[in-house]
Chain A
Amino acid sequence: MEHSAAIKRLSDPKPQGRWSLPGIGLVKGLLVTATNMLQSYYRKDRMTTVQYPEQRAPISPNFRNFPFLVYDGDDAMAGLRCTACSICEKECPPQCIYIVLDRDENGKSLKRPKVFDIDVSVCMNCGICAEVCPFDSIYMDGEYELSTSDRFGGLLFNKQRLARSTNYHAKLRPLQAAEVATRRKADEDKKLAAQAAKEAKAEAAKEAKAEADKEAKAAEA
């Protein structure tokens, strides 16, 4: 076959006359460990240990951990972007999201979650909820020091615990937040423009109707 000519034989790197001087391979290996030990005192890339609570390894801006919910404005519960559409609940691989849609007394959907719980003891940090969300509402957090002494209740995050402001998002993931903000702004502008156009049209229609009425009245007279 095509690559049979390109085959490198394993016999090439095998040391020739390997038993000729017993122990030479061992000595070579020991030289490597000795070099490494000495280098670990002065070479930066050989000093890999981080003394954790005192020092911290830098966290990548892309690092993801558990999800959080974004809210606009100042009131966390009123400004939640989440519409309780349950797409993330369906797509979540370990099924750790639990959502109850809020309804008014007539049973009409209020498009906001009454309950939004994430069991982070089950969550596997995959980020699929953030990916499938069509409302830019759920994103992955980078916070990792979450140990608690309450094994069950302490690891069930409700919507109050999960809510984070847009500023938090912008600080955590500047690029992503900026992109989302511009997109939402554009959507909002489009919506406003559409609404304005609609209103203008309605106004124009009203005026035209008034005009027609006037003309009709004038003709009658």
Chain B
Amino acid sequence: MISNPFMAPATNPAAPELDEDQLLHVSLGPQHPSTHGVFRMNVVLDGETVVSLKPVFGYLHRNHEKIAEAVTYLSSMPFTDRLDYICPLTNNWAYARAVEQLAGIEVPERAEFIRVITAELTRLINHTAFVGFFLGDMGAWGSALMYAFREREKILDLFEDLTGARMMSNFMRFGGCRNDLPAGWAARASELVNGFPRFLDELENLIIGNEVLLARTQNVGALPKEALINGGITGPMLRAAGVAYDIRKAEPYGIYERFEFRVPLGETGDCYDRLMIRFLELRESLAILRQALAQLPDGPYINPKSKVRNFKPPVGEAYARIEGPKGELGFHLISDGSVNPFRYRIRPPSFINLTLIEDMCLGLDLADVVVILGSVDIVLGEVDR
């Protein structure tokens, strides 16, 4: 039946003949500190070695896609905040972009700048929080996560000033943003961006050379790049394996082609590379932020033609995607010309990045499963939707 060369082997080559009586079935989750929420993995162990791992989803399922079919286009915007609640502003942007393509709305230049600035600040939040959580998964409770959250709180203060809420921002609108930057906001953001490298140096000093971290992450969870592309893996995980595929470069949306930044690539794609990719991307995000804040133009922050009430896009469909902090975040919308979407589909990066979790874990120890899951960087609000 199935002959995909990238499919997981039916039996573990390391232990081809297993005695069913000797196997240990462990249900990891749904209430487990390492699973980042209500996620469960049914793991079968031969001694300490993983021979099978089946993820179980749906504990946070609320059928966001069905809800969106019953409300207007604008009303779905605050729900997108709740997908990946670590980075709501990129979710907003992806959805706004999809509706803009669906209805053919132009975005003014200043709004594009505000979007880039907020999206890159969101990437800072996501990657610093990732480092903290990842270290927490490996048993380094406390320090790294607390330092990361201390810096994150400064960015969240900026977001609160701009959008009115720390996390549930509901900020992007079809054709621009909801409001303009408050007075002095750009200066405060510049100050934060200039102070950020110092914190990154500190965080790197804290963990990068640590022998325990090296031993636990290097050569763990690597897969060949062809398998990763075939498995739909996107974002930092794919680039850690050395595939130069960043949507900001491959399909420059918004105004990303105006900025100079590099796409960091890993070599092997093991958990260590995935951690380092995030550190390098943080520095590139800071480069983008510096340029965007310096070039910020004047002008309208929203297309004056965009409608707030009784918005009806023409009949058609659109798929738009952005490079979210966790990978490719896409929205597929179908309009039948009414005020509600006919079909509203989210392509969640963290859900699809879990496709290969079993392949990555087979033959490794149970303790490595926790590290590998941490390196995928999932948020259950987005996995289960």
Contacts and interface: CB of A to CB of B under 8 A. Distances in A.
A contacts B directly in the complex (CB < 8 Å)? yes
B244 A33 contact: no
A48 B308 CA distance: 39
Contacts of A1: 244, 249
Contact of A7 (B160, B168, B207, B265): B265
Interface stretch (A16-24, A100-108, A194-202): A16-24
B262 interface: yes
B262 A62 contact: no
Interface residues of B, number: 53
A36 B198 CA distance: 13
A10 B265 contact: yes
Contacts of A60: 157, 160-161, 164
Contacts of A24: 209
B160 A48 contact: no
Interface in A124-172: 124-128, 131-132, 134, 140
Interface string A59-73: 011111000000000
Contact of A126 (B168, B207, B262, B263): B168
B9 interface: no
A19 B262 CA distance: 30
Contacts of B214: 18, 25
The listed residue with most B CB atoms (<10 A of its CB), out of A32, A64, A124, is: A32
B335 interface: no
Interface in A1-44: 1-4, 6-11, 13-15, 18-19, 22-26, 28-29, 31-33, 36
Interface of B: 71-72, 74-79, 143, 147, 150, 153, 157, 160-165, 168, 170, 178-179, 182, 202, 204-214, 240, 244, 246, 249, 262-267, 273, 276-277, 279-280, 308-309
Interface SS, B side: helix
Contacts, number: 130
A23 B211 contact: yes
Given A3-B263, A9-B265, A61-B182, 15 more contacts: A6-B262, A8-B264, A10-B280, A13-B280, A26-B210, A29-B205, A31-B205, A32-B206, A33-B143, A33-B206, A48-B153, A93-B75, A93-B76, A93-B79, A126-B77
A123 B214 CA distance: 46
Contact of B244 (A7, A18, A91): A7
A15 B208 contact: yes
A124 B78 contact: yes
Q: How large, as a class, is the contact surface on chain A?
A: 35 or more
Nearest to A25: B209
A213 B5 CA distance: 101
Contacts of A13: 204, 208, 276, 279-280
A124 B78 CA distance: 8
Interface of A: 1-4, 6-11, 13-15, 18-19, 22-26, 28-29, 31-33, 36, 46, 48, 60-64, 87, 90-93, 124-128, 131-132, 134, 140
A100 to B, nearest CB: 21
Contacts of B262: 3, 6-8
A15 B267 contact: no
Contacts of B79: 93
A4 B264 CA distance: 10
A179 to B, nearest CB: 12
Given A7-B244, A10-B267, A62 B208 contact: no
A125 B264 contact: no
A91 B74 contact: yes
A31 B170 CA distance: 41
10 contacts: A7-B244, A7-B262, A8-B262, A13-B204, A15-B209, A23-B211, A25-B208, A36-B147, A92-B75, A93-B77
Contacts of B213: 25
Contacts of B163: 62
Contact of B267 (A11, A32, A87, A91): A11
B70 to A, nearest CB: 9
A21 B35 CA distance: 34
B78 A6 contact: no
A23 to B, nearest CB: 7
Contacts of B204: 13
A134 B307 CA distance: 13
Contacts of A127: 164, 170
A10 B165 contact: no
Nearest to B204: A13
B244 A3 contact: yes
Contacts of A48: 150, 153
B101 to A, nearest CB: 22
Nearest to B150: A48
